[in-house]
């Protein structure tokens, strides 16, 4: 054991200088490493125009780091500089780019680093109207090289007069049995009028769409009414009493029949002598022979002329004097004149 200790001591005496300087070097290295750790920064630089780089520097100021990285910024560029865990730092550079915006017949420019269409419009000071739209849409993210188009949309309401053409309608009646091939105009037709409101959609001043938003009838059309022959077609549209049928112009169940003459009349009055209304199917009688309110069926003996079911509501001089048995009411003067004087059978329902 003594020999071994002596041997070790001899080695230390022989290499003492080497060991001293080696230990000193290690000590300096450790001190330097410690100082480097505490007094330097590790900076990761992210640039949207370049690849990411990592720098080790004793500077922590943003401007110094940018200068060392040889980065030139424009006023519209953005820099985000953050630090964490002591000497670790992130420096993010977002270079701006120009986005052309076509609006109101010209092109303006928005300068942004990032954002969507709405951000670009705000940057350029462009305000959208209620119906305006953009392509691409407002929430679309914009990248360098993109462009934007703004479409101005307005709505205008215009009104136009529109003619409503009248139609020709036909009424069939046995009244014209004497001239079955002739037709008679009972009422002339007249056109109506609509006031039509169109909502027109203009995009950048050009009409793209027009839709009808409202139609107001200013004047209704009056259809032309033409009378034509209809074999056996009654003038009146009154209905038969319950359970009564007509065969060969003779109804069932009547109480008595009067063969007499019939004329035709027209009146603008609304009521007859009885106080009842005047319309197709109402007739003037001698109330002493046929009381007011009596229901009857009227047709010529040969069946060529059929007035049909009727009710007594009016009277007149000819009926009271007995020169005419019954006067048939028509709603047009033309029909009353076409009636002439006909022989008729009146089937009475007392």
Quick one: 180 and 203 in the same domain?
yes
Tell me, yes or no, whether 73 lies in a domain: yes
Quick one: 296 and 257 in the same domain?
yes
Q: Which is more confidently placed, 234 or 86?
A: 234
Structural domain total, the chain: 4
Task: Looking at the chain, list the stretches that DSSP marks H as alpha helix, in order from N- to C-terminal side.
Answer: 2-39, 62-68, 117-124, 317-321, 333-338
- pLDDT the model gives residue 35: 43
Tell me, yes or no, whether 11 lies in a domain: no
Quick one: 101 and 145 in the same domain?
yes
Quick one: 43 and 122 in the same domain?
no
pLDDT tens-digit profile of 118-150? Answer: 999 999 999 999 999 999 999 999 999 999 999
Quick one: 191 and 146 in the same domain?
no
Tell me, yes or no, whether 199 lies in a domain: yes
Q: What is the DSSP letter of 117?
A: H
Which of 41-45, 232-236, 332-336 shows the lowest mean pLDDT across its residues? 41-45
Quick one: 345 and 240 in the same domain?
yes
pLDDT tens-digit profile of 86-117? Answer: 677 776 778 889 999 999 999 999 999 899 99
Q: Phi, psi (5° rounding) for residue 41?
A: -120, 145
Output the domain CATH number for residue 328: 2.40.40.10
Quick one: 277 and 219 in the same domain?
no
- Average pLDDT in the 41-67 region? 66
Q: Which residue, of 227, 258, 276, is where some domain finishes?
A: 227
How many residues comprise the chain?
350
Quick one: 86 and 102 in the same domain?
no
How many percent of the chain have pLDDT more than 70? 77
pLDDT tens-digit profile of 74-85? Answer: 677 777 666 666
pLDDT tens-digit profile of 188-214? Answer: 999 999 999 999 999 999 999 999 999
Q: Which domain holds residue 281?
A: 234-349
CA distance 325 to 196: 55
CA distance 239 to 232: 16
Quick one: 38 and 137 in the same domain?
no
How many percent of the chain have pLDDT more than 90? 71
Output the domain CATH number for residue 84: 3.10.20
Quick one: 90 and 101 in the same domain?
no
Tell me, yes or no, whether 37 lies in a domain: yes
Tell me, yes or no, whether 250 lies in a domain: yes
Neighbours of 115 (CB within 10 A): 15
Quick one: 71 and 130 in the same domain?
no
């Amino acid at each position: 054991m003594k020999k071994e200790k002596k041997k070790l001591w001899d080695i230390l005496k022989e290499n003492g200088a080497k060991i001293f300087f080696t230990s000193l070097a290690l000590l300096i290295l450790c001190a330097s490493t410690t100082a480097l750790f505490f007094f330097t920064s590790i900076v990761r630089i992210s640039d949207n125009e370049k690849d990411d780089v990592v720098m080790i520097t004793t500077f922590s100021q943003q401007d110094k780091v940018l200068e060392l990285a040889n980065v030139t910024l424009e006023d519209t560029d953005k820099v985000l500089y953050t630090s964490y865990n002591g000497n670790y730092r992130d420096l993010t550079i977002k270079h701006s780019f120009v986005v052309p915006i076509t609006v109101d017949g010209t092109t303006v420019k928005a300068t942004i680093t990032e954002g969507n269409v709405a951000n670009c419009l705000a940057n350029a000071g462009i305000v959208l109207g209620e119906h305006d739209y953009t392509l691409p849409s407002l929430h679309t993210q914009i990248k360098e090289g993109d462009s934007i188009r703004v479409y101005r949309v307005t709505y205008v309401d215009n009104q136009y007069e529109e003619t409503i053409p009248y139609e020709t309608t036909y009424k069939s009646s046995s009244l014209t049995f004497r001239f079955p091939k002739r037709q008679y105009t009972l009422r002339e037709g007249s056109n109506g009028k609509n006031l039509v409101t169109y909502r027109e959609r203009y995009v950048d001043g050009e009409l793209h769409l027009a839709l009808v938003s409202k139609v107001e009838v200013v004047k209704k059309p009056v259809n032309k009414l033409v009378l034509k022959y209809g074999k056996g077609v009654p003038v009146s549209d009154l209905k038969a009493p319950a359970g009564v049928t007509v065969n060969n112009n003779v109804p069932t169940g009547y109480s008595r029949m009067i063969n007499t003459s019939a004329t035709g009349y027209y009146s603008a009055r609304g009521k007859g002598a009885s106080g009842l209304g005047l319309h197709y199917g109402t007739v003037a009688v001698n109330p002493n022979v046929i009381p007011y309110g009596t229901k009857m069926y009227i047709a010529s003996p040969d069946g060529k002329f059929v007035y049909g079911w009727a009710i007594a509501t009016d009277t007149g001089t000819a009926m009271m004097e007995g020169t005419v048995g019954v006067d048939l009411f028509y709603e047009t003067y033309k029909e009353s004149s076409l009636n002439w004087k006909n022989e008729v059978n009146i089937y009475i329902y007392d």
